[in-house]
Every structure is written in C-alpha cells, then in structure tokens.
Homo-oligomer: A and B are copies of this chain.
Amino acid sequence: MSVTLGQPPAAYAPDRPRSSSTREALLDAAEQLLVEHGVAGTSTRAIIKAAGANLGAVNYHFGTKEDLVLEVFARRLRPLNQDRISRLNALEAEAQEQPVPLEKLVEAIVRPSVEARETQPGTTMALFRLICRGFQDPNPQLKAFLNKECAEFATRIDSALLRALPWLPPQELVWRERFLFGALNHGLDSWVHFDNLPHPNPEMQPMRPDREGFIHRMVSFIAAGLSAPIA
C-alpha cells in the first residue's frame, strides 16, 4: 500500500513554499547550535529540542540532517554574497573604467559580513562564526557547497583586486587572498565572540570596538597586507 504522507519531505519537493514556522524554528535553532558545537557536534535531537519541535520534523521538512545543515548555510550565505556583488557593481560603475581603490574593494568584502545582522532581519551575531566554521569544516560536501555558493563573488573580486594592484602577479594575489580571508574570519570570530578572551597582559585587555571601528581596523590591516611589496 503506497502511503501518502500528506506530502513528501522537502528534499523531494523542492518547489514547496518554504515558510512553515517549524521550518524556520529548526533553521534558527540549528544555526545557533552549529555555531556553538560544529556540524559533527550538533545532533538532530538537540536541534529539535531547541526549536521546540518534534523529532520527525527534520525528516519531514528537510529529509536529512545534512540537508538541514546545508540550508542553514545557504540561507545566510546567499544574501551575503549578493550584497558583496552589488557593492562591487556599484564601485565599478562609480569608478568608470578606472580601477577601484583597494580600500573600497576590501570594504566591499568585509562590510557585508559585519553588517549582515542589521540588513538581514533575524540574523544573529552567530552568522559570522557559522560561516567561518563552515569553511573549516571537514565535511567535503559542505565545503564544496560553500565554494559553489561563493564562486561568482570570488571571480569578481579576483579581477577587481588585480586591477587595483596591477603590479601584483596573479599567483601572488591568490595567496594573499588566503591570508585575507583567514584574517577576516578569525577577526570576525574574535569580535563577535568578544566576551571572555582574557589576555595575559592586563594592560592589553582588549576593548571591543564598535562596528565602524572594527571594520576600519580590519580594512586597514588587510589593505596594507595586500599591497605589501613583493620580493
């Protein structure tokens, strides 16, 4: 007897309107827990408990824990990269054939990450740490997904940076970009997670800068690193 479950799980019906409140609660709870404990450290049961949902809800709405995880990332990453790309568009339109100044490009990378929680309603501080973690996660499927999601922005920023740093060989830029994103991710993580980062030297106990101060610090560091002289 074929059983009609009312509706097949979301994984098999991707066109269904995705607005169930349980669905959103699961995504929110999963996001929070993924930030705190990583993918492998977050169980389906912990998620549904935090969301006040039933165990079957994950299977019903997402089909699989992994599909839920991917959706958690996609929900945040898509608008983030869209924001980055539209900033890039605006900068290039404004510059009219001239290369966009380096600091502006770096800001187009950095600012959307830091500002997301204000432009994207409901986004928590956790977003940054989530994405940082995602890129370091051992799960190859997750990594591939994130790379795909960022591919367009990556090629755009590549060529823009090459135009802003014409004396820099592309091979060098590739490595400096790695340093860039390392600094960005770790810096964001420290900023968001500012609470208890006790410093051995009390005089250096860090203050938490406001959003603009933090963006400025980050942009200065990264822009200086990107335009370092080469051997």
Tell me the complex Cα distance, A220–B221, Å.
12
Q: Is A45 an interface residue (CB 8 A)?
A: no
Given A179-B187, A225-B222, residue A200 in contact with residue B138 (CB < 8 A):
no
Tell me the complex Cα distance, A196–B151, Å.
15
Given A37-B138, A41-B40, A170-B204, residue A221 in contact with residue B176 (CB < 8 A):
yes
Q: Which of B137, B184, B220 contacts A230 (CB 8 A)?
A: B220
- CB contacts (< 8 Å) of A187 on chain B: these are 175, 178-179, 182
Which A156-191 residues have C-beta < 8 A from chain B?
Answer: 158-159, 170-176, 178-187, 189-190
Q: Which of B136, B158, B207 contacts A133 (CB 8 A)?
A: B136
Q: Are A154 and B186 in contact (CB under 8 A)?
A: no
Given A175-B217, A186-B181, A207-B171, residue A200 in contact with residue B230 (CB < 8 A):
no
Interface size on A, residues (CB 8 A): 59
Cβ contacts A183-210/B at 8 Å (1 or 0 each): 1111101100000000111011011010
Tell me the complex Cα distance, A213–B227, Å.
17
Q: Is A3 an interface residue (CB 8 A)?
A: no
Q: How far is the CB of A68 from chain B (nearest CB, A)?
A: 17
Q: Are A186 and B178 in contact (CB under 8 A)?
A: yes
- CB contacts (< 8 Å) of A220 on chain B: these are 228-231
Tell me the complex Cα distance, A187–B132, Å.
14
- Contacts A37-B138, A158-B201, A179-B186 given; 12 further ones with Cβ under 8 A? A38-B138, A39-B41, A155-B200, A170-B203, A171-B207, A176-B217, A176-B221, A178-B186, A182-B183, A182-B187, A224-B224, A225-B225
A to B CB contacts below 8 Å, 12 in the list: A136-B189, A154-B199, A158-B200, A158-B204, A176-B217, A179-B221, A181-B186, A182-B186, A185-B186, A224-B224, A224-B227, A224-B228
